[in-house]
Chain A
């Protein structure tokens, strides 16, 4: 079994040829598995928020908009073709049902923002497993493009 490469929160890791990328416990956050199948180049991005409105813009990977663009930029600089890049997404759950609070549904806003940015950038969304109320751990096999979602008390989902 290959060693897994862990992707933290507001983080992105790339692997070429072979490798398993993993990110743990996606709640309202979204995990995006990018792949250029021709190069077996894959990237796993873990974004937390829909839009980058921060003045300093220190961490691009925290946000869906800047995170997706930065990941695609780094992949193309490794030789990937933007038109070949595909993506699978998971996450965007609502962990707590808070009544009457101003918490909003960050998960849902994240999903919508990811969809919008992918459409703007012309990146093909192959599969998604989003929403709901359970946390997901996401594994991504760079070589095959296979994704796997593990949740507490549920069967693993391959996608």
Chain B
């Protein structure tokens, strides 16, 4: 049976999505580990279905500033994928790759921005590659876009995309652990409802 809204998912379907999140984020962590030349592990992946205002509280309040890399999905699956990068994560990347950490988002220059975009792009592409390989769905990705702004507005992008069909936002993601330190970097997959049904059907969990 096809679901009409994210809040109708049953526990088997949620488990399947959690597994997708686990494999996708695990692959992304391996890619990040190679980039940073250190071991990167992930926290327990989560699937969350949240109301809009709940989602914004969950990510840490609307006005907190963060960097976001966004990639649009097309082809057999549509939606967006976001890499929400907080300062701790940004500095981990910049310190290792450029040797130049920043104190504030305002100090990001062209080189550091393009580094962050590329890292975000690699994380997202790796995640999607894993999903694609697992389900046999072909997904096209757009060129990544980057913004530094209030995270409420960044999170509103996937919300606005599906606002016409759903009052909920679904996110699949986990945090990275580097050097025994938990580094918040949310990798959020937000497919639309139709693509979610297609994905679940391809994986054989919907009857």
Contacts and interface: CB of A to CB of B under 8 A. Distances in A.
A135 B72 contact: no
B154 A27 contact: yes
A28 B158 CA distance: 11
Contact of B149 (A9, A48, A95, A102): A95
A95 B142 contact: no
A3 B80 CA distance: 37
A6 to B, nearest CB: 9
Contacts of B106: 153
Contacts of A8: 52-53
Interface string B151-167: 11110110111011101
B164 A135 contact: no
A38 interface: no
A106 B156 CA distance: 11
Per DSSP, chain B at the interface is: mixed
B150 A102 contact: no
A29 interface: yes
Given A10-B52, A103-B80, A134-B149, A98 B143 contact: yes
Interface string B78-95: 101000000000000000
Given A25-B63, A25-B151, A101 B74 contact: yes
Given A29-B156, A95-B157, A9 B150 contact: no
A10 B149 CA distance: 20
Interface residues of B, number: 36
B160 A24 contact: no
A46 B180 CA distance: 41
Chain A CB count within 10 A is highest, among B68, B78, B149, B157, for B149
Given A24-B152, A27-B154, A54 B164 contact: yes
* Interface-centre pick from B72, B142, B150 (highest chain A CB count, 10 A): B150
A62 B63 CA distance: 20
Interface of B: 52-53, 56, 61-63, 65, 68, 70, 72, 74, 78, 80, 105-106, 142-143, 145-154, 156-157, 159-161, 163-165, 167
13 contacts: A8-B52, A9-B159, A25-B151, A27-B157, A28-B157, A28-B160, A48-B156, A54-B164, A96-B147, A98-B70, A134-B149, A135-B154, A152-B105
